[in-house]
Amino acid sequence: MGVCPSATMSLLTDNFTGALHPWAQPEVLTCTPWGAPIIWDGTFDPDVAKQEATQQNLTIGLTVFAVGRYLEKYLERFLETAEQHFMAGQRVVYYVFTERPGAVPRVALGPGRRLRVERERRWQDVSMARMRTLHAALGGRLGREAHFVFCMDVDQHFSGTFGPEALAESVAQLHSWHYHWPRWLLPFERDAHSASVMARGEGDFYYHAAAFGGSVAALRDLTAHCARGLAWDRARGLEARWHDESHLNKFFWLHKPAKVLSPEFCWSPDLGPRAEIRRPRLLWAPKEYRLLRD
Ligand code: UDP
Ligand code: MN
């Protein structure tokens, strides 16, 4: 599996936060117990990853759902910043799932980059139906044209390089709220009736459903697992604590990710500056549930 020279590493503090806090020498975990790399800024060479990806002539998919008010509110900035930062120089195909294809903003795309819009009916709850839709798409055109795919929330924007260093057979994102919490406090589903249940002591990390990725085959398995779990729960009148994210966490407990992304790859600016967060690559928008979901 992954190559992990050392389990922890001191990040150099030549950056903004380091200058503010010269005493801070943050130690971060750079390898999981099963040998997968946890990538932080400074632990990889982005140029090497870029060269490797270019040599392999990869096509990388990026899926995003923009249903209801999320379309006007977030999609344009998400795509515009993805053009600047997501897999720059690689072949990329965006898949936007929406019930209003005509309202998708026309964003200027760089060479080798395409945008496909897939019509989706408007669901009661998008986060419950995403996995099923993704599974179908991965079994269709998306699965045929992409080698690797990232699946992301739309209520965020890119703020730094999100390149081929993030690619692997399966990729999980450390949740920025929870990455430093003790395991027993992590918000896994605890209801034994749910397909997503995790017993006390189970769980490696708490992963964020706002960004996950992998090969088409791995994501077919992941989305099938989550869609099955969601359907199982629904048939019993249950809904897991964090919806599809609870099922995603169960999947990654049973099938360990090949690569883990540090919280820099999907950061919540509300948390403020932290010494170990040197270069955020995706930034969450503030939560506005009551305004946006109806
Ligand atoms: N979503 C959407 N319309 C909605 C609700 C959700 O398009 O009305 C999509 C969108 O891509 C969003 C994702 O589903 O980013 C997950 O929902 P949300 O971001 O509200 O969940 P949270 O990040 O709070 O878990
Ligand atoms: Mn979100």
Contacts of 256 (CB under 8 A, 6+ apart): 32, 34, 36, 204
| Percentage of residues of the chain with pLDDT beyond 90 | 85
Q: How far apart are the first and last CA of the chain?
A: 44
Instruction: State the complex-level ipTM.
Output: 0.99
pLDDT score for 14? 42
Q: What is the mean pLDDT of the chain?
A: 92
Residue 144 buriedness (CB in 10 A; 0-12 / 13-18 / 19+): exposed
Does any ligand 1 atom lie closer than 6 A to the CB of residue 242? no
pLDDT score for 8? 72
Residues present in the chain in total? 294
Confidence of residue 175 (pLDDT cuts 50, 70, 90): very high
Contacts of 231 (CB under 8 A, 6+ apart): none
Confidence of residue 292 (pLDDT cuts 50, 70, 90): low
Confidence of residue 120 (pLDDT cuts 50, 70, 90): confident
Of 54, 35, 59, which is closest to residue 215 (Cα–Cα)? Answer: 59
Q: In the predicted model, what is the mean pLDDT of residues 36-54?
A: 95
Kindly report, residue by residue over 79-105, the tens digit of the pLDDT: 999 999 999 999 999 999 999 999 999
Pocket test for ligand 1, best of 155, 208, 226, 290 (most atoms within 8 A of CB): 155
Contacts of 186 (CB under 8 A, 6+ apart): 178, 203, 205, 206
pLDDT score for 288? 77
Does any ligand 1 atom lie closer than 6 A to the CB of residue 75? no
Does any ligand 1 atom lie closer than 6 A to the CB of residue 66? yes
- Of all atoms in ligand 1, which is nearest to the CA of residue 71? 7
Does any ligand 1 atom lie closer than 6 A to the CB of residue 210? yes
Ligand 2 centroid from CA 101, angstroms: 21
Residue 20 has pLDDT above 60, yes or no: no
Does any ligand 1 atom lie closer than 6 A to the CB of residue 155? yes
> How far apart are the C-alpha atoms of 164 and 12, rounded to whole Å?
23
Kindly report, residue by residue over 178-194, the tens digit of the pLDDT: 999 999 999 999 999 99
Kindly report, residue by residue over 268-280, the tens digit of the pLDDT: 999 999 999 999 9
Looking at ligand 1, which residue's alpha carbon is closest to its atom 20? 289
Ligand 1 centroid from CA 252, angstroms: 21
